[in-house]
Amino acid sequence: LGCGSGLPGLELNKHRRFHVDFQDFVR
């Protein structure tokens, strides 16, 4: 989704952080 557009690394980091937060919220 965020590959090849702007900063893939930053987007990936943001997505990863969101995923972790979501998992913590679900638990």
Per-residue pLDDT of the chain (27 residues; tens, 9 = 90+): 445 555 566 676 676 777 777 777 777
Is the pTM value of this prediction over 0.85?
no
**Cα 7 to chain center, whole Å?**
12
Q: What is the pLDDT of residue 23?
A: 74
**Whole-number Cα distances in Å, 8 to 2, 12, 22:** 5, 6, 21
pLDDT at 14: 73
Return d(Cα 7, Cα 24) in angstroms, integer.
Answer: 26
How many distinct structural domains can be found in the chain? 1
How much is the pLDDT for 2?
47
Please check whether residue 12 is in contact with residue 1, taking contact to mean a CB–CB distance below 8 angstroms: no
- Supply the pLDDT for residue 24: 73
Domain range spanning residue 14?
A: 1-27
pLDDT at 6: 59
